Each structure stands twice: as C-alpha cells, then as structure tokens.
Structure 1
Amino acid sequence: MVRDGKIWIANSESGSPVFVLPKMANRHGLIAGATGTGKTVTLKVLAESFSDMGVPVFLADVKGDIAGMLEAGADSENIQERIKKFGLSDHGFSYQKYPTTLWDVYGKNGIQVRTSISEMGPLLLGRILDLNETQKDILTIVFKIADENGWFLYDTKDLKAMLNEVAENNKEYAAEYGNIAKQSVGAIQRAVVALEMAGGDQFFGQPDLDIRDWLTPDASGKGMIHILDSQNLINNGTLYSTFLLWLLSELFETMPEVGDLDKPKMVFFFDEAHLLFKDTPKALFDKIEQVVKLIRSKGIGVYFVTQNPRDIPDGVLAQLGNKVQHALHAYTPSDQKAVKAAADSFRENPSFKTADVIEALGTGEAVVSFLQEDGTPSVVEKVFILPPQSKMGGIDASVRDNAIKSSNLYSKYAVAVDPDSAYEMLGRKNEQEAVAEAEAKEAAAAAKQQAKEEAAAAKAEAREKEKEANRKKRAAKSVGTTVAGTVGREVGKKVGKQLGGKFGQTLGGNTGAQLFRGILNTLLK
C-alpha cells in the first residue's frame, strides 16, 4: 500500500508502520526465505504498491500463483484478522485487481515474447548453448561475419544458415579470422538444434520485444504489471536465467541516464534468482555485476527473490540496499552457517540476536532493513508483512485468455513475422553461386568441345593436305612415266631406222624408252 507517499510494506512488533522510500527503491533489493515463509506475499505487496504509484513492474511467475493480480482479492477470516491488526481499513485498504499484461516465451500462457539472435549476442547465447571456450570464440566470429556482411540474425534458422556458410567456406574465412574447425561448427549446430527442440525456435524471432512498451501506464495512471509465465520456462533453467540476464542487459542498454528520481521508472523482480548465477562464466558474471551497479542511475530497481542470500554473489549482494529476510531453517551445520551469514548482512539491532530471530520467524513475518533518507541502511527489525489486495493464487484459463487478447500489446506481438534475413540472403547467395558454377561448368564444357572440334578440324585439314601432296606426287610420277615411254619409243624408232631393219626399231624403241624414263625420273626428283 501507499501511505504518505511511501510504500507501506509491514508493521513492526510495536505496531509502527515500516516503509520503503520510493526514492531509494531503485537501489535494488533482496527477498529471501525458505519455501512457504511468505516471499510471494512480500513480492505482491511491493508490486501492488509500485503500481499504485504509477511505476511499471516486471514479475517472473514461476509457480503460477502471481497471475491472480489481475483479479481482486477474496475476503477470508485470516485476512480480516490482519486488516484489523494493521488498521488497514483506516488507510484505504480494499480488494482490487491490478492492470496486468501476461507474457510467455512459448506463447501459450501469455503474449509471445521474443528477441532476435543478434540482440541476444554471442556471450549470452553461448551460455544457453553450453558451449566450451573454443566454440564460444567461433560463435563470436560467426556473429562478426554476419554483421560485416549485413546478414541479419533473427531466428535459429538464420543462425544455422550462418554456421553452414562458415563451415563450407572455412578456408576462405581462416585468412582473416583464424582457423575455424568444422568439428567445432558442427558441435554448435547440434546445440542449436537442441535449443530449438526446447522451444528456442519460438523465443528467437520477430517482432522482438521493445522494452519501452513496458513503461506505459494504464488509463487510470497505475503502473502496468508485466508477468512472465515461467512455469514451463523454469524447467529449462539455463534458458530462464539467460532470458532474465538478457532482459537486464536490454534495460541497461536501452534506458537513458536519469540520475536520482523521486521514484523508479520501473522495477524488476527476478524469482529463483540463484539460477542467474549458477555455472556462470566469469565474463558473464562481471557483466551482471556491472549492470546491477550502474542500472540504478537509469531509474531501474532490481529485486532478487531466492531462498538463501548465499545464492547471490557478494559483489551483487553488496548492491542490494533493501532487504527482506523471511525464515530460514537451520537443520545442519551448513544451514546454521547460512543463517549466520544472512544475519551478518544486516545492521545489528542491540535488542535481539538477528540469527535467532531468523530461525524463529513464522509465515508472513520477516526481518527487514531498508535504505533511509541519507542512503544508509536502517537497523534490522522484526516485522509483520501486510496482506496483498489482489487475489492470491492462479487464474482460470478463460480469464487468462481474455486478459491476453484484451491487451493493447497483443496485436503487436501475437503474430510472428519472418523478414528478409541471413537465411534468405545466404539462400540467394548460394543460388547465385550455384548458377555461376553451373554456367562456368557449361562454358568450360563448351570451350573444351570447341577445342576438341578445332583440333579435329586441324587434324582433318592436315590429312587433306597430306593426301593432296601424295596425289600430286603420284600424278607427277605417272606423267613422267608416260612421257618418258612415248618419247623413248620415238627416239628408239629413229635410231632403229638408222641402224636398219625391224629388229633394230623394236630394240631401239624399248631401250630408248627405258633410258629416257630413267633420265626424266632423275630430273623430277
């Protein structure tokens, strides 16, 4: 609830109201405690209060019991006792619903929420795909090649097309980017297929979420409460945590610097926060810590919800100024250390031992410390959390469906689009290369055939020339023989006449012909 311009979250043991100062709400916070100790109630009371102040809120609904915020709470004996105990009737407490937009990565229990492969980036995507360092380096190269060539990476089929491109042309790319092993590319491709089977093909695509759409209040001026249905998403802890990390990074990169404000521009509650830091590589952890440190200057408050404060790394925990610690159970020596660590994170109260109180807290009770006007944490105190005004628990399918389709953002994000991107661009590139290759082969074959034909023609021409030369040689020889015979016979006749008698003619003719033929052949040669 909002009281005197401040967020009234609880009453102390003495009955005094305990507030979260809106101007300090973007200094982040922690809600911790064992299962069933009241974390969800605390989260709802804070979210309702921010909404009442016109501040939009994001919540991850892991158990399906937060969506009830879009319906008014129901009266009960327990709630009536708490209303009376806190004196809420005198301060405008009423059961009411809150403006709520439902989202879902899978598009089943909320408006489809998507981002593009490019927006996710190789660092976060490598974490989703569980790649080793070499494979992450190659994935980074793939992104760089795509960026330099204007091949847009929107969805998983774009990424697979890019991986094929790099694998098939790895030798050409190696000169500029270094060795790219086909085996490593193949491992990435298999990981992408596994991601698609886990629903990644639905999460990556267009239109991608514009985080600025979440900043618009409803018609009454209340901040919109955006609830991500995570009941199925939480089964894939890596995808869930990476989505939240992407969301945090997107906020950081999108929102302008605003400095200190009277109230946050938006507040995020990340449930099951331990998943954000589980098996997180150092490069990614450093990025998370940096974003948490700097994002408050952009008016964004981030609240981590988890079972144990030990789930949050010290570097991040140190940035969480507003703390709500519900009960922790110390059944083992390890549990006892966890309780002590939780107690030590608070500013000590001389009137009680914090660790003992944490162990003895009942449902709806907590120890808290919030930032004061001067930015210092208040002394830890035991409090009783106010009840929420909206419905506790889930909602019917018909109510959910109506809420989804009546949202102003439904028409913008419900239908997926597939713009021209790497898949289509590389498809055309491959087609053009195939056509060019086919034309080159055809031209080579034609040139080869032409050369073959020209060689055959030249050979035929050479044979003809040889035949002609032989023909002329034979003709010349034949002419010489005929002429020699005729002339020889005539000469012989004349010689025979002079020698006298028929015998002399015959002998002289034959001999003369032979003699002349020999002389002529010698000359022709």
Structure 2
Amino acid sequence: MTAKDSIFIGASTRDETLALKLANRHGLIAGATGTGKTVSLQILAEGFSRAGVPVFCADIKGDLSGLAAEGVSKDFLEKRAKDVGLEKTYSYHAFPAVLWDLFGEQGHPIRTTVSEIGPLLLARLLELNDTQEGVLNVLFELADDEGLLLLDLKDLRAMLAHVAERASELSTLYGNVSKASVGAIQRRLLVLERQGGENFFGEPALDIRDFIRTAPDGRGVVNILAADKLMTSPRLYGVFLLWLLSELFEELPEIGDPEKPKLVFFFDEAHLLFTDAPKALIEKVEQVVRLIRSKGVGVYFVTQNPLDVPETVLSQLGNRIQHALRAFTPRDQKAVRAAAETFRPNPDLDTERVITELGVGEALVSTLEGKGIPSVVERTLIRPPSSRLGPITQAERRTLIQSGPVFGIYDRTKDRKSAYEILTGRAEETQRQEERRREKEETQARKHGEPRRTRSGFQLPDFGRDDRPRRDSVQRRSNRRSQRDNVLEAGLKSAARSLGTSLGRALVRGLLGSLKRGN
C-alpha cells in the first residue's frame, strides 16, 4: 500500500496506516481525558485532507481550529517525528478550513428549518414523552397536508396554537390531541429558546454540499464547528450532529465503495447522542451508520469510553484507535475488558493490560486491511501533527471567516412567508369578516326596526311592534350567513387541500424523519 492510498497513523513494529479505500467502514477513537484523542483526530483530519477528502469535525475545546494554521516547531514534536520515522519528511503547514458556529459568533451560521429536521429529532431535542411526540407528529402531518411551511420557532408556535384551537376536530381525524400536551410542548420550546436553540432554525438553511469542498490545490476542506458554547446544551449538540448525519444520508447519492471517501464525519463526545436515547432512535442511528457507507461517508465516533456507544453501532466501526483507559471502578474494568475484546488478538500483546498502561500519545491501533479484515492490534506511537497544536487567535479566525468560500451566503437571515404569516393572515381575515358581519347585521336591524342594542348590550324597547316578523327576518339572515360561511369555509379548505396536495407530493421523510428535498 502506497502513501497515496493510505493515511499514516503512527509506528508500532510496523507502520500503522488507514487504507483510504476502507475508510468509509467507519471508526472509533476512544480513551480517557488527556490521553491524546484530540491529536489522533487532528492527524486523521490532516491525512484525509491531504488525500483530497473533505472532513467535518466538532471543536469541543477550540484546539481543532489549529488545523487552519501552520504548526510551530517544538522539540517534542521533532523527537516524535524521528521516533516514528518521519524525520526526513516531517514539515509544518496549514490545511484549508471553513469555520462554522451554530450561534454565528466564531464561524458561519448553520441553520435548518423545522420542516426539514422532522418530528423524530425535534421530539428528541425537546425531550418529549410518547404522548407529546404523538401530538408533534399530528402537527407535522397537518402542516404537510395543508402546505404550511415550518421554517423557524415562531412558525412552530403558531402551528401549536392552531392545533390547540382545532384539537377536537384533529382528534377525530388523526387521533387524540390534548391541549395539555400542546401546552407541554410550548413550555419545552421556551426552554429550548433559553438555550439558544432558536439560532438553529431558520433560513438560509445549510446546503450540505457546502461541506463537500476541495481547495484549489486538491486538498479536502476541513469543516470545523465551534462547539464550546454548544456543549452547554448537550441535547442540542447531539441532535444537531445527528441531523447533519441524516442530511448526508438523505441527500448524497449511492456510490458503493469508492477509492476514497466522499466525506469523513467525526462525531466527538459521542455519548451525548446515545445517553437516554429511546431504543427506536438508537435503531435508526444504527441503520443510518450501516447504510451511509454506500454514500461514501465515513463516520468516526470519538468518546472517552467504548461503552458509550451501543453494541449495534459499535459493531459497525471497523477502524479503531484506543488510547489509555483507567480501571478505577467496576464499570471502568468492564470497559477495559470490552475494549480489549473488540480487537483482533495479538499473541504477543496482553491487550487488556496494555490499555491501562498506554502513555500520552500512545494507542492500540487496528484498521481494516485486505478484504476488510481487521489487522492484528498493535501498540502504536501516534505521529505528530503538521498543523498547530492549540487554537488559532481571534484575528486569525476573523480573517479565515471573511476569506472563506461561503462568506456572505449564510450570514444574513431570511424570513419568507410561512406558517406564522399564513395563520396570522387567516386569523386577521376571520376577524375582518366577523366585523363586516356585525356591521351588516346592525344595518339590517335598523332597516327593519329591530331593537337596537346599547354599548352595554341592553335592548332598547320597541313598543307597539309585533315580534314575529322580526324573528323571521333574523332567521333568514342567520340562514344566509350560515350559507355564506359554509361557502367561504369550503373555499378555504379546498385551497388548503389543493396546496397541501401539490406540496405534499414533494414531502417525503427519511429514516430519521428529515425532509427529503425534491430533485
């Protein structure tokens, strides 16, 4: 295998490499805090970029932004390069990078719409129970049927109020819809807003193709998400990255097993995705991880403990870099045994013992080779990175943002006509019709000499008149009003059904409930 076909990870009794052709078979980087996981992620991102493969990674501590800057020579880096056999070829340079930030503070904003994220992930984000999730599904179904676009949280709030008003009718059509459940969802929205979740919803929505770019020199662009602030809302972080994964799965075409991945996705702090996740969601995540390989996407989970990842997902991760684990508690000891058992045994290595003895920058490495068979596990010294260790400065960050290929595309929000405007317009039109009806009734009442009402609502007496003609007149007006309202209501419903039908043909949702865009 040549350098063009693989990524050099480090040195054991041999050179440990990751074959590009098998890099879409996913991977795991695990180890306790401070054992070198971030550097392993960094050198893999560098290797993929060199090979022309775009990368996405979440920058939890700010250190990964150093990928965008040239490394600085240091004695321990030079020594490590010599120890792994790179003394003649080791050099320092920056990698093409685009900075992103959900809050738009340290990078380009990333947004999606409520309609696109879908009910499954939104229910997870709002921490809804089964009954509340059922109401949310009804809301999305109604919005899809009536052609109401849900772009941001004000659209969602307007739709919730609309559902509450029509609770009885919708219960007949879609199943039980309680106003109490609607109220609970509205309260969860307030919590999400306080966490900054409103920044995630709106337009312009992210075009996933902007993650799949190469620089003019052919290197893959490294997309770095500033996640230090995002990590204060762990549920939002987990759902956001899962949405990105589902977008890649739904939007990218099938390409089988390419010579190198189309994109590599690093999912740092992976336990946040799976903690307290319902079984149904974990099953869908496992399904996406299993199937996304054929889209040319490699998914690499980064976590402290291999037990953080469910077995059904862990079994899909063929390439492993295991840093040191500490066996202080029974759970820690179980994790060490579980990690050791996932490697292909090496008769010359006590894997379970070595995991607890690894130093900083050392790891047990096993990657897929040949026909996808895992290599024998080896104790490996990880190579040093070529980019900077540590974060870039604020001035460097501003320059990188302003010179980036997506500058100006996502930095200003758009607010086109959607559910909020449509429902508000309907309410205002209904109010205007009611006012016109009252005025017409009052005009006709005066014309026929009917009792006038004072502002307080009391009738003024009308002596000497027979009230039977008045009752007949009121009945006729009531009949005409009922017919008029029925015609108007039928027209509105017909228009809504027509719009819903034409839009509904394009509304198809994928495995994780995300909206598939029409081609």
TM-score when normalising by structure 1: 0.85
Question: Alignment partner for residue 129 of structure 1, among 126, 133, 136?
Answer: 126
**Paired residue for 1:57?**
55
2:78 and 2:87 in contact (8 A); partners too: no
SS at match of 2:131: helix
Cα RMSD over matched residues? 1.8
**Paired residue for 1:82?**
80
The alpha carbon displacement at 1:446 in A equals 3.1
2:7 and 2:47 in contact (8 A); partners too: yes
* Structure 1 range deviating more: 66-75 or 162-171: 162-171
* Structure 1 range deviating more: 175-184 or 404-413: 175-184
- CA deviation vs aligned residue, 1:286-324 (integer Å, no higher than 9, x gap): 110100000000000000000010111000000000001
Instruction: Tell me whether 1:3 sits opposite 2:3 in the alignment.
Output: yes
Distance 2:128 2:278 in 1: 11
**Paired residue for 1:304?**
301
The alpha carbon displacement at 1:453 in A equals 4.4
Distance 1:242 1:135 in 2: 18
- CA deviation vs aligned residue, 1:400-439 (integer Å, no higher than 9, x gap): 1111121110211011111111111111111111111222
- CA deviation vs aligned residue, 1:137-159 (integer Å, no higher than 9, x gap): 00111111111111100100000
SS at match of 1:452: coil
The alpha carbon displacement at 1:346 in A equals 0.5
Question: Alignment partner for residue 287 of structure 2, among 286, 290, 299?
Answer: 290
Question: Alignment partner for residue 258 of structure 2, among 236, 261, 266?
Answer: 261
Q: Which runs of 5+ in 1 are unaligned?
A: 461-525
SS at match of 1:152: coil
- CA deviation vs aligned residue, 1:430-459 (integer Å, no higher than 9, x gap): 111111122222233333334434997994
Number of aligned pairs?
458
Distance 2:171 2:83 in 1: 72
- Aligned residue type for 2:8: W
Over the matched positions of the two proteins, sequence identity in percent amounts to: 51
- CA deviation vs aligned residue, 1:102-160 (integer Å, no higher than 9, x gap): 10011111100101111111110011111111111001111111111111001000000
Structure with more of its chain in helix, by fraction: 1
Instruction: Tell me whether 1:69 sits opposite 2:55 in the alignment.
Output: no
User: Highest Rg: 1 or 2?
Assistant: 1
Distance 1:318 1:153 in 2: 37
Question: Alignment partner for residue 335 of structure 1, among 324, 332, 336?
Answer: 332
- Aligned residue type for 1:10: G
**Paired residue for 1:97?**
94
Distance 2:219 2:133 in 1: 43
SS at match of 1:60: strand
- CA deviation vs aligned residue, 1:346-396 (integer Å, no higher than 9, x gap): 111111210011111001111111001211111111111000000011111
* Structure 1 range deviating more: 235-244 or 76-85: 76-85
Distance 1:170 1:334 in 2: 48
Question: Alignment partner for residue 435 of structure 1, among 426, 432, 438?
Answer: 432
2:101 and 2:107 in contact (8 A); partners too: yes
Distance 1:326 1:105 in 2: 30
**Paired residue for 2:235?**
238
Q: Which runs of 5+ in 2 are unaligned?
A: 452-460, 467-519
* Structure 1 range deviating more: 96-105 or 330-339: 330-339
The alpha carbon displacement at 1:4 in A equals 4.4
Distance 1:326 1:206 in 2: 41
- Aligned residue type for 2:419: A
- Aligned residue type for 2:195: A
Distance 2:4 2:119 in 1: 47
Pairs within 5 Å for 1:116-515? 116-453=113-450, 459=465
**Paired residue for 1:18?**
16
